[in-house]
Amino acid sequence: MTDDDHKPDPASPLTAPLTPEEETATTDFLTDTAEANEAAATATLDDAEFAASSGFAAAHFDMPLVPYISFENVFKSFGDFVVLQDVSFYVYPGETLCILGRSGVGKSVSLQLLMGFLKPDSGRITVAGQDIAGLSEAELREVRRKVTMVFQNGALFDSISVGENVAFPLRERGHMEEDQILSIVRGLLEMVGVAGMENMLPSDLSTGMKRSVAIARALASQPSAVLYDEPTTMVDPLMAHLLGDLIQRLKVQMHLTSIVVTHDMRFAEKLADRLVFLHEGTARFFGTAEEMRRSQDPVLREFFSLDELVLPV
């Protein structure tokens, strides 16, 4: 079944306009998130300037700024199977990093390590300047308030409506009135392109729509960073394009730091400030898309060739 099988009824309220109250509540909510993220980025810059004036380098990478997220010499194995071997990369506040590579090279494992669902065998993983490897589960929950993840399958609660899914993080906070929650839910769904679907169940939605709802739920947490696991897998080209535009728009409007796992080089080039290419457990490349295109590494050249064969112009 594809996204075309779920074309909405023209009579449905897919593009139902928000009321002035809903629009104001949503705008205020998103503005608060953007201002908090911008302030955090400024604080990070101040920390970097203090470190430089004190004689401390930006550590492992000789960087002018302090990354919001970084891997430093990370190793991860499952038994005898080595998934990540001495992997290092970073992403600055408000930037987007794309993790590229073939299936089974550790792209999704990297995201699970960043969320604290897995622990590295060795190495350092920092989020918002904090080494998360030794944190307790309670401390990791605080990190996950800042960094949220959009899973491949959406990871929505199947037994409750789309609106209840998006409202879940808002209700967890416990300080919002119900009418404010409902207004923000409608506004977030409108923002991600699935307006009017709050009363539907996740099972009624296509794969692409589920991912849009998952992004809305992620935004309801007012995060500083969002991790996207293969957002364009199993969706049609139009939906992939729309999701790419949405991820880019959220980065700009909300000052979000983003990490996107993908196998799609063209999608990555559209979004990324930097890319890391994983191959046989190592970070084969880390840099800008332009630098990657110029690389003569035979593994990268082969990846580009296969990408061009799979993706029509």
* Confidence (pLDDT) at 59: 45
Tally of CB atoms within 10 A around 78? 10
Q: What values do phi and psi take at 125, rounded to 5? A: -125, 120
Q: Residue 52 has which token pair?
A: 């430089």
Helix (H, G, I), strand (E, B) or coil at 126: strand
Rounded Cα distance, 206 and 213, in Å: 11
Domain ranges of the chain: 93-117+137-310
Describe the strand order of the beta sheet including 69-78 as a list of residue ranges: 81-91, 69-78, 122-127, 130-131
Helix (H) or strand (E) holding 122: strand 122-127
* Confidence (pLDDT) at 234: 83
pLDDT digit string (tens) for the chain, length 313 residues: 454 444 434 333 333 567 888 888 888 888 888 888 888 777 665 555 544 444 444 444 455 578 999 999 999 999 999 999 999 999 999 999 999 998 889 999 999 999 999 999 999 999 988 899 889 999 998 898 899 999 887 789 999 999 999 999 999 877 788 999 999 999 999 989 888 899 999 999 988 899 999 999 999 999 999 999 999 888 888 888 888 999 999 899 889 999 999 988 889 999 999 999 999 999 999 999 999 999 999 999 998 887 665 544 4
CA 195 to the chain's CA centroid: 21
Picking from 207, 104, 214, the residue whose alpha carbon sits closest to that of residue 149 is 214
Rounded Cα distance, 225 and 260, in Å: 11
55 dihedral zone (left: phi>0; alpha: psi -120 to 50; beta): left
Picking from 129, 120, 136, 122, the residue whose alpha carbon sits closest to that of residue 69 is 129
Rounded Cα distance, 90 and 68, in Å: 8
Q: What values do phi and psi take at 77, rounded to 5? A: -130, 155
Picking from 83, 84, 89, 99, the residue whose alpha carbon sits closest to that of residue 69 is 89
Rounded Cα distance, 26 and 183, in Å: 7
What top-level class would CATH report for the domain 93-117+137-310? Answer: alpha beta
Mode of pairing for the β-strands spanning 122-127 and 96-100: unpaired
* Confidence (pLDDT) at 239: 86
Alpha-carbon torsion 41, 128, 126, 273, what sign?
negative
Rounded Cα distance, 46 and 44, in Å: 5
The half-sphere exposure of 23 on its side-chain side, counting CA atoms within 13 A, is 5
* Confidence (pLDDT) at 124: 95
* Confidence (pLDDT) at 289: 92
Q: Residues 6 or more apart from 104 whose CB is under 8 A from it?
A: none
Give this prediction's pTM: 0.83
174 dihedral zone (left: phi>0; alpha: psi -120 to 50; beta): left
* Confidence (pLDDT) at 55: 44
The DSSP code for 286 is E
